[in-house]
Structure 1
Amino acid sequence: MSVVPPSLSEDLGRPAGTTAPEIRNYSLNFGPQHPAAHGVLRLILEMDGEVVQRADPHIGLLHRGTEKFAETKPYIQSVPYMDRLDYVSMMCNEHAYVRAVETLLGIEAPERAQWIRTMFDEITRIKNHLMWLGSNALDLGAMAVFLYAFREREELMDVYEAVSGARMHAAYYRPGGVYRDLPERMPRYKESPWRKGKALKRFNEAREGTMLDYLEHFTNSFPDRVDEYETLLTDNRIWKQRTVDVGIITPEQVYAWGMTGPMMRGSGIVWDLRKHQPYARYSEVDFDIPIGTNGDCYDRYLVRMAEMRESNKIIQQCVKWLRANPGPVMVDNFKVAPPKREEMKDDMEALIHHFKLFTEGFCVPAGETYAAIEHPKGEFGCYVISDGANKPFRLKIRAPGFAHLQSMDEIVKGHMLADVVAMIGTYDIVFGEIDR
């Protein structure tokens, strides 16, 4: 027990010389809201003043139910659900799912489709990291980076829209290939009160040619844009104070908690499914695996910045190959591939087949498989069991964010309350895939 000094006793309304109870740990509800997280997180923090003693993440607030939904629908109808798991890395989610279905069917997408998938996986990786960079910087008090990052992200959103019709939930990957080939032209801005004359011409400058021309223009300018982000943050004194030596994760903790992706590579572990278990056309492209040394928030920031540069290099190689190699983007197997629209105009059988494919789907041979891809956040995998029907008997999704969030208590213990925000941000979690 501590004695209240006379001056303070008067302020508290207590007689001088009386005793006051010691300050004890208290619980703090951090949420449920979006505290540096995409989705609803409730974090119960046990605090000793400003220092975290214990962190208990409560995640059951979104109730997405994706795995159970998928078990009630034909395989092809579940592709759009994958987009909504992690609504920042849409096509990467689709890729793991369609790979699992293709494995059970015993088919392989055409070569051009696999190059397109490789390219869009890296477009998605850049989009994810830009979203992470902007929102994480905003969480730690840097406003301008958010605006810069979304400038480039919008340009890649236009690519999503041009190829699929949707800016976010594309449903572009299909078992057996992709929905359609790359479009011959990009949508252009129209005249408005804000864009006239020279301004309109400047906005449409990169949109005069094909999508590949547009992506070539983007990849040529993107390294300079990353330089801008790094000018604002990498050597920024405040940024380093908020991230250096905060949330250090040792290699032993990485293995114990099943961490993957930048969380693993930030701690100096060289592991990337694109290199070590290649899929699509990653074995044919040249890129490096960035790694950190200290395993803190700052290292994970540097890893993601370097990954954007490497993704940019991969997109350039894909653009070069796709220019030189036309070809089909869907298997020639009418069990899984819809008929061409030209055929449906003249052939009633083709029209009926189209409707049956998208309503009843196709039956998949009995068996089980696990297919994983190097998602922007880590290893994202789909474990599918088929009993021979037109829908999965069981679908289990391995989401990287779920494994990462489990470690919250161990990693933030002993840090200040403000460091919890930095740690949640560096986890790069999206609750659609966690509370699935």
Structure 2
Amino acid sequence: MSDTSTIHHIKLPDGSIEKQTTTLNLGPTHPATHGVFQNILELDGERIISTESTVGYIHRAFEKLAERRPLFQITPITDRLNYCSSPINNMGWHLTCEKLLGIQTPKRVDYLRVIIMELARIADHLICNSIVGVDTGAYTGFLYVMQYRELIYEIYEQICGSRLTTNIGRIGGFERNFTNDAFKKLEKFLDEYPKVLAEFENLFTRNRIFMERTIGAGPISAERALNYGFTGPNLRAAGVDYDVRVHNPYSSYQDFQFEIPVGTTGDCYDRFLVRNQEMWQSISIIKQAYQKVQEFKGADAEVYHADVPEYYLPEKKDVYTKMEALIWHFKIIMGEINIPPGELYFPVEGANGELGFYLISDGGRTPYRLHFRRPCFVYYQAFEELVKGSMLSDAVIVMSSLNLIAGEMDA
């Protein structure tokens, strides 16, 4: 399980040698680390005495790149944070820009965004929980639910042409309206996935081996989780019902009815259960949003973006035939539009927790400063505390249940 290991010895008074501790590198290139980061474990046998965690192996200077790009060019950068649920990153950035620019999006746009964000949440939780199963020795669940991650990606593909790093949507709405095929695939997902999720839960929830591997592994109290700055499923598993969608609604989330699942012990088992329950809630939200979308008729059913020509690219056919559209296209692409000065922080409920964008504009054409609040970076700080005193095998389970994504580690 290691790249390298070192055994430290001590020489006893009688001249004999006794093993003391072992230093083991878990990562940065081992697949069990779920990304490119390093954990230097000091072991007494198989028990973890201490841990030193290192980030930066995937440093891509996101924040500095963003300071040299106009707003619309920053969307693909957000894709590379948590790439398991990149549409939420995209929408979060667009909502941040819209708050700075004073753009009010139509209700239909809000509801379509909710559908995409909740699909992304399901895709992320689906990956996390099925990988927790793999890390405990159960591969079946992973293979089973992965078919439905593919179906979610097919829905993305219908809407924007991409699957993993989607660059989905635009400031003010979407690049194009949802196709009938996209809605048909959504209906197929809503019809089939609940049965699959129920079977997935049956494979694990009361599985004796799975319970023994996860119950009591990596627990954290509500107080300690708050002190670290935990948010999202990992905080809710510790018993705190904080959810940005409820406490600071955006994209018309206030129009939907849903519950916030919470746990009690904050251990790996609770984190698994909370994510499963959140998938059920996301299915309910998507059904509500889809029903609301269907209620739009006539011209209202064709609305998929706000009327903001300064920031929303005109249609290609207009660019080819209308001078005004050509001018706006040129100005937007070349980054020749100054953005208003201001300072703001805008959070969304990412699949992993509170994903925040702290933006400072000095009135130029690019952000003066942009900071991403990446939830995974926060969780990783607690890793040493969560695994200290545990067995070596628990380190992988804890890392897996925290859902640490390397792209969010070092921006």
TM class, shorter-length: over 0.9
State the 1:34 CA deviation. Answer: 4.2
Corresponding position of 1:194: none
Residues 71, 391 of structure 1: 8 Å contact kept: yes
Corresponding position of 1:418: 393
Q: Select which of 323, 335, 348 maps to 2:294.
A: 323
State the 1:26 CA deviation. Answer: 2.3
- Does residue 1:147 correspond to 2:146, yes or no? no
Q: Deviations over 1:135-173 (max 9, x none)?
A: 222122111111112111001010000000001122122
Corresponding position of 1:218: 189
Corresponding position of 1:179: 175
Counterpart AA for 1:84: R
Corresponding position of 1:109: 105
**Among the aligned pairs, what percent are the same residue?**
38
**What is the aligned-residue RMSD (CA, Å)?**
1.4
Instruction: Give the Cα separation in 1 of the matches to 2:336 and 2:202.
Output: 51
Structure 1 residues 427 and 94 mapped into 2: Cα distance closer, same or farther (>3 Å)?
same
Q: Select which of 373, 380, 403 maps to 1:405.
A: 380
TM-score normalised to structure 1 length: 0.88
Corresponding position of 2:50: 54
Residues 261, 272 of structure 1: 8 Å contact kept: yes
Counterpart AA for 2:366: K
Instruction: Give the Cα separation in 2 of the matches to 1:244 and 1:19.
Output: 44
For 2:95, what is the secondary structure of its paired residue? helix
Greater CA drift, 352-361 or 257-266 = 352-361
Q: Deviations over 1:206-240 (max 9, x none)?
A: xxxxx223312311221111111112111111111
How many residues were matched structurally? 394
Residues 225, 235 of structure 2: 8 Å contact kept: yes
Q: Select which of 63, 76, 79 maps to 1:80.
A: 76
Counterpart AA for 2:280: R
For 1:39, what is the secondary structure of its paired residue? coil
Instruction: Give the Cα separation in 2 of the matches to 1:34 and 1:378.
Output: 25
- Does residue 1:68 correspond to 2:39, yes or no? no
Residues 385, 395 of structure 1: 8 Å contact kept: yes
After superposition, where does 1:7-406 map in structure 2 within 5 Å?
Answer: 20-184=16-180, 186=181, 211-325=182-296, 326-360=301-335, 362-406=337-381
State the 1:177 CA deviation. Answer: 1.6
Counterpart AA for 1:83: D
Corresponding position of 2:9: none
Unaligned runs of 5+ in 2: 1-13
For 2:80, what is the secondary structure of its paired residue? helix
Instruction: Give the Cα separation in 2 of the matches to 1:363 and 1:149.
Output: 46
State the 1:340 CA deviation. Answer: 2.4
TM-score normalised to structure 2 length: 0.93
For 1:24, what is the secondary structure of its paired residue? strand
Residues 262, 304 of structure 1: 8 Å contact kept: yes
Counterpart AA for 1:154: E
Counterpart AA for 1:422: I
For 2:356, what is the secondary structure of its paired residue? strand
Residues 34, 41 of structure 1: 8 Å contact kept: no
Residues 212, 323 of structure 1: 8 Å contact kept: no
List 4+ stretches of structure 1 deviating above 6 A.
none
Counterpart AA for 1:404: Y
